[in-house]
Each structure stands twice: as C-alpha cells, then as structure tokens.
Structure 1
Amino acid sequence: MNVAFGEDDIQDPWYPMGDGNMLDVLHAGLHATQMMGYTEIMNAYRFITHNGARAMHVTDQYGLEVGKPAHLILMASDNFYNALNQRAAVTLSIHAGRIISETQPATTQLFI
C-alpha cells in the first residue's frame, strides 16, 4: 500500500495558514500516526517525495538521473531527522534546473 502526505490548500478559505511547506505536513502526519521511532522519522521523507510521486503517477520525470528535470531543495541540516525537528531553512530551491530561491541560513547552537 502506498501512503503519501500532501497539501492542496495554500492560503485559501479552507486553510488560510497553508504555505505548501511539506515538512509541516509531514510533521503533523507523523504526530497523527504516532510514528516516533528514529528510523521511522528518518525514512518519513518518502511520504512527501517518492510515495507522493507514485500517488500522482509521476514516474518518467521523477528521480535523480541525467536528463530528468532538476526539481529539488537543499536544507541547512546534517540529516533529515534534524531538518524536520529543527524546521531547517531551505537554503536553495531549484525548479527545472534553475535556482528560484536562495537563503543564507542562520547559525544556531543547541545546548541540551
């Protein structure tokens, strides 16, 4: 069974707080499904990437291979768990191989 998380309401009357940030959707989904194990969280990116593409029948354009369109984001984090937990900044957004947004990340230190 393919399970994917998504969002279709971006600043509209049904969900005025929607901003298209799939990390927020994933964060809420993990809480709702109580998927709190480290390995589950580290693999949860698939719900908003691979599984989402499969649910939308996006096959020939999806994946990292020469000749496919480059649609991706880079985040200021050392791994996905930290990116999700710390709401890591998207430092680079690329659409069709072209940089459409770039942000210099803030420096954060966590002392726990």
Structure 2
Amino acid sequence: MDTYPKRRGVTRVKELVEAGINVSFGHDDLFDPWYPLGDGNMRDVVHMGLHVCQMMGYEQIMNSYQFITYNAARTLHLSNYGIKEGNPADFIVLDASNFYDALNEKSALLYSYRGGKLIASTTPAVKKVHF
C-alpha cells in the first residue's frame, strides 16, 4: 500500500475535495510537443483525472463535472458563470442522460453554444449490437 507522498505526480484530490477546498482540472497543451494528444476535450481531462486520482465511486464520478465547470470558474474568478439569467449562454449538449453515462460511453457532443448561438452540431452515429 502506498503512503504519502504517492509515487506519482498527483496531489491529494480526494482529500482536498473532502476538506471543502476548491479543486479544478484543466490542461494547456493542445497538439504540441509536450502533449501531442491534447485536443481540448475537457471530458477527457475529467476521465483521466478520475482514474489517476482513483476516484471511482458513483457519486465521485457523477459530481466530477464540477472539476471542469463550476470549480474551474471559481479558480479563474469568473463571476458570471453558471446557468442563470444574464450570464453568457456558453454550453454543450452531450448525447447522454447523465454525466456518468457521458464519461462511461464517451458520448457524442450534440450541440455547442457560444453566447447563445449554436456554433457546432453533430449527428450521432446509429449504434447497433448484433449477437
């Protein structure tokens, strides 16, 4: 059993969250020599963060969207963030019924809005399972 410090470059995310400290996930490398796989997909950042931080409980997974949304907005001191009247309407719609399914199924991005204007949409693939 590993004790602290763990032998990997990750802070104590679970413990910080349990202590009520704001934790957010992000990355800044997009298609560059330091991280050639970086594509800006924040859902992938959460997916990796959950694995690396060993946060596999259902509630941890369901609440993990906060690392890249509300918590990140707090980290960046964004005062006009969130879904409420008067805020910028910047949001995405995923092809999933909840965030667990969005992560587990790597659900497609259906719509992306910026300033209330639809800027991108995807027609989802039809999936069939044949036994």
**How much identity, in percent, do the aligned residues show?**
52
Of 77-86 and 102-111, the range deviating more from structure 2:
102-111
Q: What TM-score do the two structures reach when normalised by structure 2?
A: 0.80
Look up the match of 1:106.
Answer: 125
**How far apart are residue 110 of structure 1 and its match?**
6.3
Count of aligned pairs between the two proteins: 110
Look up the match of 2:93.
Answer: 74
Look up the match of 1:63.
Answer: 82
Look up the match of 2:45.
Answer: 25
**Counterpart code for 1:30:** L
Q: What TM-score do the two structures reach when normalised by structure 1?
A: 0.92
- Can you give the 5+ residue segments of structure 1 that lack an aligned partner in the other structure? none
What secondary structure does 2:72 align onto?
helix
Look up the match of 2:107.
Answer: 88
**Counterpart code for 1:86:** E
Runs of 4+ in 1 over 4 A off after TM superposition: none
**How far apart are residue 19 of structure 1 and its match?**
0.4
Deviations 1:56-82 (A, max 9, x none): 1111x2011111110000000111101
Between structure 1 and structure 2, the one with the greater Rg is 2
Tell which has more relative contact order, 1 or 2 (C-alpha 8 A, sep 6+). Answer: 1
**Counterpart code for 1:50:** Y
- Can you give the 5+ residue segments of structure 2 that lack an aligned partner in the other structure? 1-20
Deviations 1:32-89 (A, max 9, x none): 1110011110011000100000001111x20111111100000001111010011100
**How far apart are residue 14 of structure 1 and its match?**
1.5
